[in-house]
Amino acid sequence: MKRGILNSITRVRAVRMRTVAWNAIMAALAIALLAGPTASAARADEPMGVVKGTVNQALDVLRNKQAPLAQRQDQLRQIVAASFDFKEMARSALGYHWRQISPAQQDEFTKTFVAFIEDSYLSKLNEFTNQQVEFVTTKSLGQGYAQVNTDIVKPGSSEDATKLNFLLEQEGSTWKIYDVTVDAISIIANYRNQFNRVMNNKGYDTLISDLKSKQAALAASLGTH
């Protein structure tokens, strides 16, 4: 009985993660920083500065309600592409299966995964409400790695804040986001678990076909194709 309850809790938490994750990311990319002096002083070439700059730029786009939706979508793609290491996210999401596919398949998967991720968060554009993000702290995860911790809160709500943390890796003199956790659950790990099941049971062809179908459906809903 106890094991059944624990499994049920795990499934509920996984479902919550999938439904909340991109809403939370969209909020983090969409809303202004309730910042203290330390965050305000963050440089653009430091982890906090990278995340803060992405948020503030996205906020400007979202506030411009006069601009056509397609224009705002394109602007958000450019903003996020500058801060996220989508290639690393794609490689990590496929896990050890990455080494089992050809270079051509790696390129195909990366392009499809990036398009899917972008369209996933863009589909949340019109759901933006009045959530606010509080940037809490930056901590080192070792040489060349860092984590920016933030809280997503809704003013006037009694709901607990959503813990949204950005994981970054240093590439030369810049920092790139390679994963995001929602309430301590990694989005990339969540995708990896899903992709791993498909790869083990049905193989790459089924995985890429399913991912392309989902991405095409999202693109159609956005009117991008």
Short-list 156, 128, 117, CA closest to 32: 128
171 pairs with which residues across the strands? Answer: 174
Residue 40 has a pLDDT of: 40
Q: Which residue has the higher pLDDT, 167 or 62?
A: 167
CATH number, domain containing residue 78: 3.10.450.710
pLDDT of 148 strictly over 70: yes
* Predicted confidence (pLDDT) per residue in 94-128, tens digit: 999 999 999 999 999 999 998 888 777 666 655 55
Rg of the Cα trace of the chain?
A: 18
Q: How far is CA 53 from CA 47, 146, 152, 187, 215, in A?
A: 10, 16, 17, 21, 28
Q: Which of 11-20, 108-117, 195-204 has the highest mean pLDDT?
A: 195-204
| Residues spanned by the domain of 191 | 2-222
Q: pLDDT at position 127, please? A: 59
Neighbours of 33 (CB within 10 A): 20
Of the chain, the end-to-end C-alpha distance in Å amounts to: 49
Question: What integer is the mean pLDDT of 174-198?
Answer: 90
The strand pair at 132-140 and 174-182 is best described as unpaired
- Per the structure, the count of domains in the chain is 1
- The contacts of residue 119 (CB under 8 Å, 6+ apart) are 215, 218, 219, 222, 224
Q: What is the mean pLDDT of residues 183-210?
A: 93
More confident residue, 32 or 78: 78
Question: What percent of the chain stands above pLDDT 70?
Answer: 70
Q: What mean pLDDT do residues 153-181 have?
A: 84
Structural contact between residues 153 and 132, judged by C-beta atoms closer than 8 angstroms: yes
For the chain, give the percent of residues with pLDDT over 90.
32
